Amino acid sequence: MSADRIERETLIEASLERVWSLVTQPGFWVADEATLAGTVAKEGESVVAKNSQYGEFPVQVEKLEPPTYVAYRWASAFPGQELRPDNSTLVEFTLTSEGDKTRLRVVESGFASLAAPEDLRDKALEDNRRGWPEVIDAFKKRAEHLPE
């Protein structure tokens, strides 16, 4: 498989500020929600996103451009391993205000450069390709049902 990236987007019925406050919780897409309380992205910092079903994933905040862009690096195919450039992908969240709604765009890239056999890289890409729609749906529901 030659694909290296996953791209998804959705329109959320919530303010840019509310969506920003949620996307800046490092690892929100994989961590159990209860472990996210009080976490806020700080450029250059790393956290461990804990998921009771899938394990622990190091997540590093790569770049912040409040309130519209945040990028993280994570080792989705290597739970429990220390984060390195050759075992991680880049996940970028871009927010755009559309009236009183917010468009969320997610791009995950770097699968082709994972230091792993091709079948593991393909599996990581396919697993995440299947996972992102579920993550985005759950995120959208959470954002739309939080009080302003």
- In the prediction, which pLDDT does 3 show? 80
What domains appear along the chain, each with residue ranges and CATH number?
A: 1-14+55-93+102-148 (3.30.530.20)
pLDDT digits (tens, 9 = 90+) for 108-136: 999 999 999 999 999 999 999 999 999 99
**% of the chain at pLDDT higher than 70:** 98
Structure tokens, 60: 């590093």
Alpha carbons 46 and 26: distance in angstroms, whole number? 8
Whether the pTM exceeds 0.85: the reply is yes
pLDDT band at 39 (very low <50, low <70, confident <90, very high): confident
Question: Does the pLDDT value for residue 1 go beyond 50?
Answer: no
Strands 89-98 and 69-74: antiparallel
Q: Residue 64's closest CA among 81, 36, 45, 79?
A: 45
Taking all residues of the chain, what is their mean pLDDT, rounded to a whole number? 93
